[in-house]
Amino acid sequence: METCVAVVPGSFDPVTNGHVDIIERACKLFRVVHVAVAVNAAKEPTFTRDERVEMLRLACAHLPEVTIGTFDGLLADYAVAIRAGTIIRGLRAVSDFEYELQMAHTNRCLAPDIETVFVPTRTDYSFLSSSIVKEIARLGGSVEGLVPDGVRQRLREKFEQR
């Protein structure tokens, strides 16, 4: 494992400014940051895997240390495959911590050499989730300031089609 390589996993459906904040902060701590879009066959995402990857590429274009990828299966296996020494998880509230701690312990059992680092969100993003963003967009509200510019347009297009 490489201690200077981290993975930031998530569904990113869609990527929010809160996600970008966590990714930017991870870049201050690690030489290489892999942003990994989780593909979960049990979930029906709003955006396709390729759309999510493209939105992340646009949102992270200013971060040369970031690479974007996808994984289907166990995060621990993906982290081992890309030689990441650290998994980065953002925390918005205490309610996130319980779930994330459980996942960190599970990943530690599956891949003992990989550490999990929790990064608290900025206060102004502590309420923000992809689900909330999609609900606002679906109901015709403004998501300005909540998502990167290119994502705002994608949300508008997606919900105008329905």
Structural domain boundaries, residue 81: 2-160
2 pLDDT band, cuts 50/70/90, is low
Cβ proximity of 9 and 75 under 8 Å:
yes
pTM of the model: 0.94
The residues that are catalytic are 19, 43, 92, 130
- Residues 146 and 77: their CA atoms lie apart, in Å, by 32
pLDDT digits (tens, 9 = 90+) for 96-109: 899 999 999 999 99
Count structural domains, the chain.
1
Mean pLDDT of the chain: 94
- Residues 110 and 31: their CA atoms lie apart, in Å, by 24
Nearest to 89 by CA among 116, 64, 65, 69: 116
Bond from prior residue into 45 cis (ω within 30 degrees of 0): no
Statement: residue 89 has pLDDT above 80: yes
- Residues 134 and 162: their CA atoms lie apart, in Å, by 13
Please report, for the domain that includes residue 42, its CATH number. Answer: 3.40.50.620
- Residues 68 and 117: their CA atoms lie apart, in Å, by 19
